[in-house]
A and B are shown apart, each in its own frame.
Chain A
Amino acid sequence: MLKIDQLGLKKGLIYAVIGPSGAGKSTLLRIINLLTPPSNGFYYFQGMALPNNGLERLRIQRKMALVFQKTLLFKDSVWNNVAYGLRARGYNRSEINALVDKLLEQVGLKDLAARRADTLSGGEAQRVAIARAVAFNPELLLLDEPTANLDPVNIELIEEMIRKLNREKSITVVMVTHNVFQARRIADQVIFIDKGEIVEMGPTEKIFTDPDHENTRLYVEGKAIF
């Protein structure tokens, strides 16, 4: 159960969502992505209220992308995986060819284009999953633990990829992470969630050096919260 009084996201920033296991971080991403509709309250995307109409909802959903903690790539080539979201949006063949080739080049995955996605390593698969999610230029990219279980080299590659996508494509990023150091390295703003509630949200440095709440301080210092 997640209870959110209010949460607003500003365009072009990177947000890190931190908090103990079971706090509701992944649920927050699912609600933002409309995979789990909010049971009550208000939801606005770019000033537009959540419509009842399924097609209108899909239109909002298509402005964002969610990369799950457990990456699921389709049993197809890397190229076709990255093209999936574009096909879903009805892009024509020549547009898809141009966009996918350009993106794979940009994110350094060009050499993997023809590989079957189920033969990739964990780090490669995660990079492909992120590339697939940004191929259609979403305005909001939601990442659930994108570097969990990866080695330091792949973590660095993915963090750099996220920064680059945020900088060059102005994609707003909301990233759930257990790693507070990663949150500090990458995020402009940090959201601290505990027991289904947003305890605190603010600029990264403030959260790490001068948080308003004792539990936030304890968590970012790596101490147990009771």
Chain B
Amino acid sequence: MSPTFEGIIEAFRLILAFDADLLQIVFLSLQVSVTAILLSTLLGVPLGTLLALKPEKKTRLINKVIFTFMGMPPVVGGLIIYLLLSRMGPLGFLDLLYSPTAMIIAQIFLAAPIITGLTMVGVRAKGEEIEETARSLGAGSALAAWTVVKESRFGIFGAIITGFSRVVAEVGAVMIVGGNIAGQTRVMTTAIVLETRKGNFELAIGLGIILLIISFVVNSMLYNIQKGGRSY
């Protein structure tokens, strides 16, 4: 039997058996990535909207910085967070290295620029027009900004989906700051790397399939929310 086929069988066996180790890895993966995306959304959507509504001339430099960070290799992002959180680093006193919190911070570092940048692009298309329409109808600054976000939800959900896809599949940053410690910081992607190195291809493929299923379910949920607000 080929490793791929055995992997598929192993994946379903693990899922159906409610394997405790597997559930712990899946739960931690979701906990880290979903928390990182929620916090990145809270940070990136308002910032992206604000930047999109400012004249481009005034935000040119910050736009370039955000676009650069959007393409940052995860290992570089992980290294930066590692240096910040390591005992010698400026945030070493927090003692967060090799913890799920450090992994969340690393994933925020990767996802927030993506959500900010893509929100900015999505809002910029019609944001000014929407804001002026809202203001002409008597909306104050807060309501006008909320209307812009609501009307640009198609693009914003696209940004969140892209951000989630980036962090859920990411391995370099969480490996560096999390350390892949069994039962503590081991997530699906780092477990796949470990099992592959051990030659345990069946389990690696099984985890890969579960990762794809989870990614499909979460993205489908976001896609359905996005579709509800699409423009015709």
**A contact set with B: CB distance below 8 Å:** 33, 35, 54, 58, 61-62, 65-68, 70, 72, 74-75, 84-85, 88-89, 116, 118-119, 132-133, 136
Cα distance A74–B144 in the bound complex, in angstroms: 12
Q: Is the CB of A85 within 8 A of B129?
A: no
Q: Is the CB of A85 within 8 A of B137?
A: yes
- Name the one of A33, A66, A88 contacting B140, with C-beta atoms under 8 angstroms: A88
Measured between beta carbons, the chain A residues less than 8 angstroms from B130 are: 72, 74
Q: Is B166 an interface residue (CB 8 A)?
A: no
**B contact set with A: CB distance below 8 Å:** 126, 129-130, 132-141, 143, 147, 150-151, 229, 231-232
Measured between beta carbons, the chain B residues less than 8 angstroms from A33 are: 136
A78 to B: closest C-beta gap in Å:
14
Measured between beta carbons, the chain A residues less than 8 angstroms from B134 are: 84, 88
Measured between beta carbons, the chain A residues less than 8 angstroms from B136 are: 33, 35, 65-68, 133
Count A-B contacts at CB 8 Å: 53
Q: Is the CB of B129 within 8 A of A88?
A: no
Cα distance A62–B80 in the bound complex, in angstroms: 50
Main secondary structure of the interface of B (DSSP, over half): helix
Cα distance A62–B229 in the bound complex, in angstroms: 28
Cα distance A68–B232 in the bound complex, in angstroms: 21
Measured between beta carbons, the chain B residues less than 8 angstroms from A58 are: 138, 140
- Name the one of B126, B138, B231 contacting A89, with C-beta atoms under 8 angstroms: B138
Q: Is the CB of B138 within 8 A of A118?
A: no
Q: A70-B129, A75-B231, A119-B232 are in contact. Are A88 and B138 (CB under 8 A)?
A: yes
Q: Is the CB of A132 within 8 A of B137?
A: yes
Measured between beta carbons, the chain B residues less than 8 angstroms from A88 are: 134, 137-140, 143
Identify the closest chain A residue to B132 (Cβ): A35
Measured between beta carbons, the chain B residues less than 8 angstroms from A133 are: 136-137
Measured between beta carbons, the chain A residues less than 8 angstroms from B151 are: 74-75
Identify the closest chain B residue to A33 (Cβ): B136
Identify the closest chain A residue to B147 (Cβ): A74
